[in-house]
Structure 1
Amino acid sequence: MKQEYYYFVSGLPNINIDDTKLPWTPEEFLAEAKTQVSENDYHLLEILHLPMDLDNLLRVLYKTNKERNMEGLYDDAFWEEYLAFLRNVIDNPEFKTPIEFAALPNFIKEIVLNALKQEEMQPLPQTELALLKKFYAWTAKSPNDFIRNWFAFDAHIRNILTAINGRKFNLPYAQYLVGEGETTEKLSKSHTADFGLGKEDELYNALTRIYEQNNILYRERGYDILRWRWIDDYNFFNYFNIDRILGYYCQLRILTRWIKSSPELGKEVFNSILSDLNNSFSFPADFNIKSTQRK
């Protein structure tokens, strides 16, 4: 049974996706959460940042000019030290893992070690894809319901958009799909217009409608509306447990990204998307957009 955090959850400021001001920053939220939740539950909050941390690890490993992903929890010095540790492991397989790296999933060590051992290091996209696939497989086995389902949902979005883009630009996209299952199988092999998903896959229909937007900014906003609504629906009966906190934090980070880019623009795009979606098709029941129209 999940631990209940009545005091902490009751004190969380309300947030809506069309807000133009933050009640607090993600950094402030994490600092407060660290004093309020158990060590194991706090680690779940850190897992939400792992894709961004992997992005930064790859940037350091391949010495690219890409800017640091500011949503990552670990700085470049951390990853430099981690890579130094792995190079020691190559020379001495029995080298013990320092305590500062103990919390990192083992699949990271496995894949990066493989890349470092190559006479000529494999291309970055190959290592990136290997990490992503292992990451989604790892979260699929998480004992926490929210982590398991949130990243399954994220993988579903990623796969559908990868397939749509791949087909549009005539690219061999199947190798870039993550996870297994019937949907992944259909996306990789079906030659029908809807990848064999049809009306059965509500998320596919919602994503394709958003994808038809010509403005990339509108598309990204639409995808985040879907994510926000998924969290609301998923946590409908979660009141004070860690899943409620994890969902709140995901929404806070979504809101932060849009407010940092431009709060006025974010609100304008949000309202425009709502109008377009409501006037042009019925949003799937699982992603009922009307409930986001709070005053």
Structure 2
Amino acid sequence: LKEEEKPPKNDRMPPYFKEFFKLYLESEGKENKQEIPWEDRLAALYYAYAMKNSNKFVRDWFCLNLNINNMLTAITCRKHGLDKAGYIVGDNEVAQALRTSNARDFGLGDTVDYLPDLQRIAEENDLMVREKKVDLLKWQWLEEHTFFKPFDIESVFAYLLKLEMIERWVTLDKVTGEKTFREIVGAMKKGSENALEEFKRNNDK
């Protein structure tokens, strides 16, 4: 990259990666005054790119993940007396509020309905338990946002996301992972049966 002075031509490379390379190369030899680490800057570009997706469900999913990570980060910074502004990623409405507000709920109590859940999760000292609770919150979000879309692409995407969660937990906790896998398979079967019955009723009319 340094020799060519520009990123290689690769259509499969995500646009945000090209932008990151450009910013990184431009910083070479210059005094580094940025407060945000490079990995966080890359994460911000990643989320910004994902939240421009043409599918609203996909946009909302990545926005949810960004908000959850940022809110847990802000809560942790407050607990340990750190300057949260240097750790918040992205520039959406929630990120801006987290950087500037000193209110207990960061001024988000009326707009982020899952904030109380996150505040309780942040109080959990067992990191493994806390991770599971965060995944459960995401799981419930996926359930709520695909309940009326059993045949849509959103449900397929949601199942893939759930399977990714299960795969991660199987490697960390085999018993919990297998139990969760059985639960999702059962939910998939039940959801398919209900959707089929609804489809039949609508077409019989």
Please confirm whether the aligned pair reaches a TM-score higher than 0.5, indicating the same fold.
Answer: yes
Partner of 2:22: 113
Report % sequence identity: 31
Aligned counterpart, 2:58? 147
5 Å matches for 1:196-235?
Answer: 196-198=107-109, 200-235=111-146
- 5+ residue gaps, structure 1, are 1-85, 271-290
Query: Shift of residue 154 of structure 1?
Result: 0.4
Q: Deviations over 1:13-61 (max 9, x none)?
A: xxxxxxxxxxxxxxxxxxxxxxxxxxxxxxxxxxxxxxxxxxxxxxxxx
1:211–1:219: 8 Å Cα contact kept in structure 2? yes
Structure 2 distance, partners of 1:206, 1:170, is: 22
Question: Are the counterparts in 1 of residues 41 and 89 from structure 2 also a CA contact under 8 Å?
Answer: no
Match of 1:34 in 2: none
TM-score (norm 1): 0.54
Kept after mapping to 2: 8 A contact 1:162/1:176: yes
> Which residue does 1:170 correspond to in 2?
81
**TM-score w.r.t. length of structure 2:** 0.75
CA contact (8 A) 1:159 1:177 kept: yes
4+ residue segments displaced more than 4 Å: 120-123, 265-268
Give yes or no for contact 1:112–1:127 (8 Å, CA) kept in 2: no
Whether the 8 Å contact between 1:111 and 1:131 is mirrored in structure 2 is yes
**In 2, are the aligned partners of 1:146 and 1:246 still within 8 Å (CA)?**
no
Q: Which amino acid aligns with 2:119?
A: T
Deviations 1:195-221 (A, max 9, x none): 223365221111111222221111000
Alpha-carbon distance change, 88 to 107 in structure 1, aligned in 2, over 3 angstroms: farther
Cα pair distance change 1:185/1:121, threshold 3 Å: closer
The match for 1:132 is: 43
Partners in 1 of 2:169 and 2:121 — Cα distance? Answer: 17
Equivalent position amino acid for 1:119 in 2: G
- Please report the RMSD computed on the Cα atoms of aligned residues, expressed in angstroms: 2.8
Q: Which structure's relative contact order is higher, taking Cα pairs within 8 Å and 6+ residues apart? A: 1
Deviation at 1:106, TM superposition (A): 1.9
